Amino acid sequence: MAWELKSDRPIYTQLTEQIELMIFSGVYPLGSKLPSVRDMAQEAAVNPNTMQKALVKLEEDSLIITHRTSGRTITEDARIVEMAKTKLAQKQILAFLEKMQLMGFEQKEIISIINTMVEEMQK
Amino acid sequence: MAWELKSDRPIYTQLTEQIELMIFSGVYPLGSKLPSVRDMAQEAAVNPNTMQKALVKLEEDSLIITHRTSGRTITEDARIVEMAKTKLAQKQILAFLEKMQLMGFEQKEIISIINTMVEEMQK
DNA sequence: ATTATTGTATTAAGTGCTTAATACAATAAT
DNA sequence: ATTATTGTATTAAGCACTTAATACAATAAT
């Protein structure tokens, strides 16, 4: 895993987001076991407390389940993951479109730019 | 102006971004005068020091020009604004597409979702 | 000439984030 | 039975961000 941690906002927030993405994309499959807090912290070159803080949010969202002495696992419930994924996607798209509109781009313009960039990414 | 200031990242960063958007969209036209630091700070319900900090970044990017005792103005150079706008747009799009891909969406899927949402926004 | 306004700088205080160093209880592993 | 591993909690320190309260020099406005 390539952790991308910038200093322009809290690290634990970024960790939460990136772990969430790994759950959505199946890097951590349903029901699979997460590494220990200490191991994940070391992997991300971060203090255990910070990683702990990052994981709490995912528990609140029921994406992961904590077993006091045997670690954490990803939820077995596919619906929970799917719903969270859809919710995040819509949030992303909305935020993106709003920002582009604030910049002064027309809607048709936005779509055409995206089409162009997607084509470029496929190369 | 409706300032949207959240507590999940530095306020001065958010101010910089939002003022930049106002320049891009023409809320502050080329060559126009910005309100004083104190006035802008009050408008955004923020400390003058924080607004000051937000403006420094825009000066570094040559989007605004500071006149020591008569305030600040937007650059007269349309190219500077246009280039910054294009640069930000590409950055936004790239970040968006990357995140959607990390979530596991296919490229065709992304385009179709966007088309749907843009149509909805037009209503 | 006087006053008001401009950007800028400084200091002190409070807050949240991050790290480091520990420690504890529960339980899995041996 | 003993040891190792688990999540969790605490304390102290350093740091950046934010606010509040001032202050200053330059110059625009009167």
Cα B88 to Cα A61, A84, A102, B21, B78: the distances in Å are 32, 28, 12, 10, 15
Question: Rounded to an integer, what distance in angstroms lies between the CA atom of residue A3 and that of residue A6?
Answer: 10
Q: What region, left, alpha or beta, does residue B2 occupy, with left being phi > 0 and alpha being psi -120 to 50 degrees?
A: beta
Pairing of strands A64-67, B71-74: unpaired
- Residue B59's pLDDT is 97
Give the span between the Cα atoms of A122 and B16, in whole angstroms.
Answer: 33
Q: Is the dihedral of CA A92, A93, A94, A96 positive or negative?
A: positive
How many C-beta neighbours within 10 Å does residue B32 have?
A: 13
What average pLDDT does this structure show over B93-104?
A: 91
Grade residue B32 by pLDDT with cuts at 50, 70 and 90: very high
| Per-residue pLDDT at B55 exceeds 80 | yes
Out of B85, B105, B118, closest to residue A107 by CB: B118
Reported confidence tier of residue B9, pLDDT bands at 50, 70, 90: very high
Size of interface A-B (CB pairs under 8 A): 87
Burial group, residue B117, by CB count within 10 angstroms (0-12, 13-18, 19+)? middle
Does B70 score more than 90 pLDDT?
A: yes
C-alpha to C-alpha distance for B67 and A49, rounded to whole angstroms = 47
pLDDT level of residue B123 (50, 70, 90 thresholds): low
**Residues in B touching A2 (Cβ below 8 Å):** none
Q: What is the mean pLDDT of residues B19-23?
A: 97
pLDDT at B114 over 90: no
Residue lying closest to nucleotide C15, CA to C1': B7
In the predicted model, residues of chain A with pLDDT beneath 70 are: 122-123
Percent of chain B clearing pLDDT 90 (strictly above): 80
pLDDT at B88 over 90: yes
> Which nucleotide's C1' atom has the smallest distance to the CA of B71?
C6
pLDDT of residue A112: 85
A5: nt with nearest C1' to CA: C18
pLDDT for B27: 96
Fold of B11-76: Arc Repressor Mutant, subunit A (1.10.10)
CB-based contact, B31 to chain A, within 8 Å: no
Backbone angles phi, psi at A105, to 5 degrees: -80, 140
Asked whether strand C has any atom less than 7 Å from the CB of A85, the reply is no
Q: Compute the 3-state secondary structure of chain B and give helix, strand, coil in percent, each to the nearest 5.
A: 60, 5, 30
DSSP B56-76: HHHHHTTSEEEETTTEEEE-S
Helix (H, G, I), strand (E, B) or coil at A34: coil
Q: Do A96 and B92 touch (CB under 8 A)?
A: yes
Tokens of B64: 């605004």
Residue ranges of domains in chain B = 11-76, 79-121
Tell me the nearest-neighbour CA distance from B24 into chain A, angstroms: 5
Pick out residues 31-60 of chain A having their CB under 7 A from any atom of nucleic acid strand C.
Answer: 45-50, 53
The chain-wide mean pLDDT, for chain B, equals 93
| pLDDT bucket at B42, cuts 50 / 70 / 90 | very high
C-alpha closest to that of B50 among B104, B13, B75, B17: B13
Residue B75 pLDDT grade (very low, low, confident, very high; cuts 50, 70, 90): very high
